[in-house]
Structure 1
Amino acid sequence: MKPNHKGRAQIFANPVLERLTRTHIALPIFIFIAISVGLIYYGLTYGFIDVAEAIGLFILGWFIFSLMEYSAHRFIFHMDTDTPAKARIQYTFHGNHHDYPKDKERLAMPPIVSVLIASFLFFVFKLLFGQLVFGIVAGMLFGYAMYLFVHYAVHAYAPPKNFLKTLWIHHSIHHYKDPDVAYGVSSPLWDYLLGTMPKRAK
């Protein structure tokens, strides 16, 4: 199906479930920035991390998120659809976005799903890094919020006349020219490192 600049896909027949698949982009961005700030504040206030650790771990968490963003986009959202079940999962999570890239209410996962995933990641990273989790996960969640902002901006607005225009071009190539390249949205870093940069950008 060619990308459609109008309309939206119907994912569920149930109207309640269908409504839950849509969200205004400001809501998850606000939620995850607030949680990120709260984690840093909590970690500093109760002495789990100091200021230098908070800054370093925050940057590390943001870096980790950038790899997670790339990996999820490449290997989950663009999984092989060699069975009907995989095809359904892929379309529910991402395929509908490629069919209707201008549907502004489906540019982010529903907040409840994102919060559940973020909670799971917090406990996983707590087991791995102990009290350092407050800085690392704060950076990861802030990275996710910035990803949401960039993803919304490149679909909703014309590209700016500055260096950020690269992000618009990069993501447009993924949508309208070759879906097997340019998986990074908030940054092309991992496309450079892992060999999925578009040919025109090389």
Structure 2
Amino acid sequence: MANPLAQAEFRFSADAIKQLPVDTVLEVAFAGRSNAGKSSALNALTHQKSLARTSKTPGRTQQLVYFEAKPERYLVDLPGYGYAKVPEQVRLHWQQFINQYFQVRASLAGLIVVMDVRHPLREYDLQMLDFAKNRSLPAHCLLTKSDKLGRGPQAKTLLEVRKALGGVATAQLFSAETKIGIDEARKVVAGWLQL
């Protein structure tokens, strides 16, 4: 099957609501802690090596980055949260912007929450899932870096996360490195974007 996300291209970055495209498109937001593997997940899903810039430096993404998969169908990379080394003022601006984005953005078709399988469901992950829940948006969790655990621990973590989510979101194992779960995740995103 052809990859419906393979044509994704960088379009623009935004750090204010007024810079976003007309609110009649469809978009899927990708959120995650700094260094959880969000950029790697985006690259794996689109089957591109450097669509989203990966970095060893936490907090590299400092704006909403829009990638167009098909006309008026976007993948949106949100700033990494957690321990990004940024000034307090910048962090507060992100927070307000992201809050506003989730409240007013009608184009938002779903939320992918990227979390390291070894550290799932941290405070900010739960906050992101709350945004989705409050908006009745579908949410899907990618437990990245799954290759770092053996099969037993992978299955155990997945079961625990699904139980903790209680139906608020779906979850799966994922590894950009060993290609675990890429097709499954791609199907979710493509479905939300009606591709």
TM exceeding 0.5: no
Report which of the two structures shows the higher radius of gyration computed on alpha carbons. Answer: 1
Q: Which TM-score band (shorter chain)?
A: under 0.3
Query: What TM-score, normalized by structure 2, do the two folds share?
Result: 0.27
Looking at secondary structure, tell me which structure has more strand per residue: 2
Larger RCO (alpha carbons 8 Å, 6+ apart):
1
Query: What TM-score, normalized by structure 1, do the two folds share?
Result: 0.26
